[in-house]
């Protein structure tokens, strides 16, 4: 599939192989930090990197991430994977390449929709993106 794309290069700027998976409580990551520059998750070069385990288990990390955030005023969110894009080389995939997953996030009580890019292959510091809030974790 990806071999027909020719030579692929990674443009991802925020991979951090030393990043530690956030603790999990009640099926959500325990996030403590917010993104400061507004690129995190919104820009394909700065995706939310959740590749802490084998790609087979990464969908759980996606769930834990979305369970940890809410709208800017605490609104409940819903999310849906709508596409994939941006192939890049990775040693953490069975086929030697990965793609970013594109999610559309909706906020309860509003028509607002936001697009975020997630990477289930590579690791990085997990933050709360701008425009969201960290859910109460008690």
Is 10 part of a structural domain of the chain? no
Residue 68 · residue 128 · CB < 8 Å: yes
Whether residue 4 is contained in a domain is answered as no
The answer to whether residue 12 is domain-embedded is no
Tens-place pLDDT, residues 77-107: 999 999 999 999 998 888 889 999 999 999 9
pTM for this predicted structure: 0.91
102, 44 in Cβ contact below 8 A?
no
Based on the structure, what is the number of domains in the chain?
Answer: 1
Instruction: Give CA angle at 102 (100, 105), nearest 5°.
Output: 145
Q: Is residue 7 part of a domain?
A: no
Is residue 4 pLDDT above 50, yes or no?
Answer: no
Is residue 124 in a domain? yes
Q: Is residue 36 part of a domain?
A: yes
Domain assignment of residue 96, yes or no:
yes
Question: Is residue 7's pLDDT more than 80?
Answer: no
The whole domain housing 36 covers: 22-134
Residue 15 lies in a domain: no
């Amino acid at each position: 599939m990806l071999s027909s794309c020719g030579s692929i290069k990674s443009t991802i700027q925020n991979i951090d192989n030393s990043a530690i998976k956030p603790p999990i409580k009640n099926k959500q990551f325990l996030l403590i930090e917010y993104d400061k520059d507004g690129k995190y998750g919104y820009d394909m070069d700065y995706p939310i990197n959740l590749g802490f385990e084998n790609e087979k288990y990464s969908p759980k990390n996606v769930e834990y991430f979305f369970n940890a955030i809410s709208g800017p005023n605490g609104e409940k969110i819903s999310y849906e994977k709508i596409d994939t894009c941006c192939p890049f080389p990775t040693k953490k995939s069975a086929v030697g390449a990965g793609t970013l997953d594109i999610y559309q996030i909706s906020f309860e009580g509003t028509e607002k929709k936001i697009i975020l890019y997630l990477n289930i292959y590579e690791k990085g510091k997990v933050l709360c993106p701008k425009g969201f809030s960290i859910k109460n974790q008690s």
